[in-house]
Chain A
Amino acid sequence: MKQNSKYIFGTGTKLVLALTAFCFLAFFSQPSIAASKASQTLGFVVTTWNFALNETKFADECPMGMNPGYDEIWWRGLSKDDRAKYTDNGLKTRLDRYQFAIRRGKNGQDVAMNPTSADAPPLLLAQGPASYGMNLDGTDDGRATSKSCKHDKYVGLDGAPAVDNQLYRLLGCVYGYQSYGQYQVNANENRKSNGLGMTLIEITDVDDLKNDNDVTVTFYRSIDQYTLNGSGGFVAYSSYRTDTANGKPRYNSRVKGKILDGVVSTESGDVNLPFYGNYTYMNQLVRDMRMRLELSEDGVSARGMVAGYYGVDQLTFYACGVGPIASSGFSDCPAIYKAAYEIADGHPDPQTGKCTTLSSAFNFAAVSAFIVHPESATVAKTTPNPVSRLLSALGIDGN
């Protein structure tokens, strides 16, 4: 070892040659070396996002029909004279009489803003044994634990046992929340047309697209609107910048995951997701969230489901805040609010023991995208390419 050192460093000419060769290689070969060693990154932009409700063709899950909305409950409660008076003998549309229907509180309050100010008919809950979702509480029978309240389990639509989805039980018979219902369709359309509340999913540390037992999944919010083609379809492989404040992403919840046979699944974690729909913006916190994402064969698109606990207050904020659009969504906030707390199954309040979150699941679709981080934009700007670096080393301005 000592002799070798003497041999190498003892010859000035060889040292100069060696350093020159090293520098030459370093200038020209760094990108390819890095590329061969670096893991891949997959990026997606979420295109549609829906409450995961098990919807059968003839609404078997709703044997008593769909729940009544504000207008019907209000109208049924009026005298015959008032019905004629406030609806102009039935000629006023639901939207035109929403201003009356919504104020059915005991003292004329807006029941969407004050859901406890009016009596509500019992919410018709979704029936049946099957649902989307995952086993979130870890029990086989939905018994109460330190982290959950007693509830009934479902069989997963994929056959998985002991699935939890109290949010489906709650909203499964509310028309507006069906995949074809006013709230869902309008929320997706809102995001598509104005670009608010768009979620980006980035999967990093991917060594193998089919099977990889250690990847990282990060959720961001986009500040760019969707790139759409002439038919209104989502264009894959478009670039979306992440939303940042003071150089840091506003949304960057991160969970570990793995890829098995091309399906990405994550571990459990509290995840913040951006949301905009029905003219309401909010931060969606999904607690103990897990994601399953199935990539298409060509890698252009993906379909996924997230399951986790959704706060009752968070749901109320959204469900009660949709405004006049409720006139065609057919929901009743007081009924949803009351039933939500009755069937909540997660995160008991330490003081009262009453559960504060609902097990839930959401279906979503996504297309592949390039996710642009401000720091990568900075790096690209300040790090010259190899040719520029060589020219710069030679004293020539290559930029």
Chain B
Amino acid sequence: MTFARGILVGLYVLLVSPYAFAQDSRDFYAEMAAEWQTKYTESPGRGEINFHVDLTKLTASWNITFKDLSGPPTSIKLYGPAQPGANGAAILTFAPKGSKSPLKGSAPLTEAQVQYLLYGWTYITITTEKFPLGEIRGQLDVRAPQVVTQ
């Protein structure tokens, strides 16, 4: 009886309860280009960001690729909170000066930083010697979850 009740409660939590919809992780994606810089910038540079956040551990992992920049990156950072067209503060440094593509890594995040990500209020900018304010930029958009329990 207790076992059966346990199964029923488990099914309720999985399928019916308000918590059934919660996701344990989220994925984000962005294409980086000069046109997304708020300052007028001419550069053929391109980049791609795949960003993963584990909501239970509050950690982020990433895979960043870039090419055709005017020179080696002087910084690659995550900024927020800011929507496209606006500027935010640096909240995470991905790599030291001179890093090469592809760039992989992981780091802890705060709850507030995760919320900025989830709202679509973060972006990644790569700076170079020629463009100290940023050569290419990409706004991280949430990818639709693959499986939605409803």
Residues of chain A whose beta carbon lies under 8 Å from any beta carbon of chain B: 54, 56-66, 68-69, 71-72, 75-76, 80-81, 83-84, 87, 89-91, 94, 127-130, 155, 157, 175, 330
Contact = CB atoms under 8 A, between A and B. Distances in A.
Contacts of B121: 66
List 10 tightest A-B contacts by C-beta distance, closest first: A90-B38, A130-B18, A75-B85, A84-B40, A65-B120, A128-B21, A89-B39, A65-B142, A66-B119, A72-B83
Interface in B56-92: 83-87
A129 B38 contact: no
B120 A83 contact: no
B111 interface: yes
Given A58-B55, A59-B115, A69-B83, A80 B21 contact: no
Contacts, number: 90
B87 A60 contact: no
Nearest to A154: B18
A158 to B, nearest CB: 10
A184 B34 CA distance: 36
Contact of B118 (A58, A72, A127): A58
Interface in B116-132: 118-121
Interface string B99-125: 000000000000100110011110000
Contact of B40 (A65, A69, A81, A175): A81
B18 A63 contact: no
A72 B84 contact: yes
22 contacts: A58-B22, A58-B118, A60-B21, A63-B144, A64-B142, A65-B119, A66-B118, A66-B120, A75-B84, A76-B84, A83-B38, A83-B40, A83-B85, A84-B39, A84-B40, A87-B38, A89-B38, A89-B40, A91-B38, A129-B16, A130-B18, A155-B18
B119 to A, nearest CB: 4
B16 A61 contact: no
Tell me whether chain B's interface is mostly helix, strand or loop, or mixed.
Answer: loop
Given A71-B85, A90-B87, 15 more contacts: A58-B26, A58-B114, A59-B119, A60-B21, A63-B148, A65-B118, A66-B119, A68-B83, A68-B120, A80-B40, A87-B85, A91-B38, A129-B21, A155-B16, A157-B18
B18 A128 contact: yes
B55 A65 contact: no
A330 B83 contact: yes
A69 B119 CA distance: 12
Contacts of A81: 40
B9 interface: no
A65 B21 CA distance: 15
B150 interface: yes
B141 interface: yes
B45 to A, nearest CB: 14
Contacts of B48: none
B84 A127 contact: no
